[in-house]
Structure 1
Amino acid sequence: MTLSFEGITLSYGTVPVLHDLSFEFSDAEIVAVVGPNGSGKSSLVKCLNQLVKPQKGSVHLDGECINELHPREIAKKFGYVPQNFMDTFPATVMDTILMGRKPYSNWRSAKEDIVKVAEVMRMLNLEPFALRYHSELSGGQRQKVMIARAFAQESKVLLFDEPTSQLDIKHQLEIMDLVRDTVRMKKILAILVVHDLNLASRYADRIIMMRDGRIQAVGDPKDVLTEENIKAVYDVQSLVMHDGGIPCVVPKQRIEN
């Protein structure tokens, strides 16, 4: 499985957001996209599955140009968990997760769709909430439901925009463990926008560090999460220690410009 983007350039109105970005993924791995607010992380992820159409550039999955595909076909290839989500109409947890199967079915869900949804609910311990309305759940529980919907989609690529932002420490680790296990078991690619550098360091096989719509560093966490890179990208003095070869970032102070 190979995913590549070439020359991705994006502006919102007259405001440039992404500047001629190119990169290739060729392994089943977890890739964390990190950087300060406004660096273009979420916009890049949305360009990959064409939720946002770049002014220039293309995205290819296994040699096929994604830009030219119907949204239904893109949904078979890319599962997506947004940073924010809204309930547009009442739906139970089971029905919400079942929406992840829509690219494969018509109006009526097949037996295998129900089986897949039940399997995913079991994985994420959501069975007790199956008949509860999604809107009745806590923020963290709703986040888990959206992640379950992406898992049910059975895509080659999973895209997450801050998947652990509403979860406590224990459930952050639970979700990241599930993502890691799913990537290894199904041999797929997961790309996550993450603000927590230590979470990215512990789980990502590679890190893409962005600033001002450009890629500033990319590679193994120990090579990207250095005191020099953090200072250059975040304007923060930090101390980077290592725990079993895994970088641990301790912020010290802001750098006043």
Structure 2
Amino acid sequence: MHNSAPSALEEERERERERGRERERERERERERERERERRRERERERERERERERERERKREREREREREREREKEREKEREREREREREREREGEIHRERERLLESERKREKDRGREREMERGRIRERARERERERGGGREREREREREREREGERERERERERERERERERERERERQLGRAREREKERERERERERERERERERERERKREREREREREREREREIEREREREQGNYGMASIRKS
């Protein structure tokens, strides 16, 4: 009996110490769980910071893309202004050609009128000389009148032929003006078609640049995903190493 009482007391003390150690181990486990929660929170904060950095990089890339698009739009506006200046120069050249053509036609009409008056005066002088010779020879007044009437009829026929020639020349000038205008319109249409082809080529180049930028963005996203996977793997390996150290 004397020996059993101390033994029971000792056993109780040992159990109490064991309970104390268990409580300490539980506190240690709780501290470990808290540290693990803190590490998870820290990893989450790190991921959030990384996401924020990625968002900032994306905003920066977007600003750069926007600047690039603005530069492209400005180049397009400058090309359009240059095309408009070229159209204006072309209109001015066409106007000058038209004015020069009108001046030439007016000069030709004036010269033709002068030649017509000169021919008419020359015929009048010829008739006058003929009448004078006839009067000098005397007699034959009726024949002279008939010849005069014939000459008058011939003069009228010549004038009609001249008027017809003038009308034909005018028709030819009109046809020439129409041909020139047709050629000018065709040149303008061809220039417009060429400008449209150039605009289409520029649009295709812009689409190709955009596809290239999109491929680059996709490659950047892929690289970022790979970096994120690598960082996650490193964190997991680090956590596994720390857990192994604590267990050992």
* TM-score normalised by L of structure 1: 0.19
* TM-score normalised by L of structure 2: 0.19
Larger RCO: Structure 1 or Structure 2 (Cα < 8 Å, ≥ 6 residues apart)?
1
The structure where helix makes up a greater share of residues is 2
Structure of higher CA gyration radius: 2
The structure where strand makes up a greater share of residues is 1
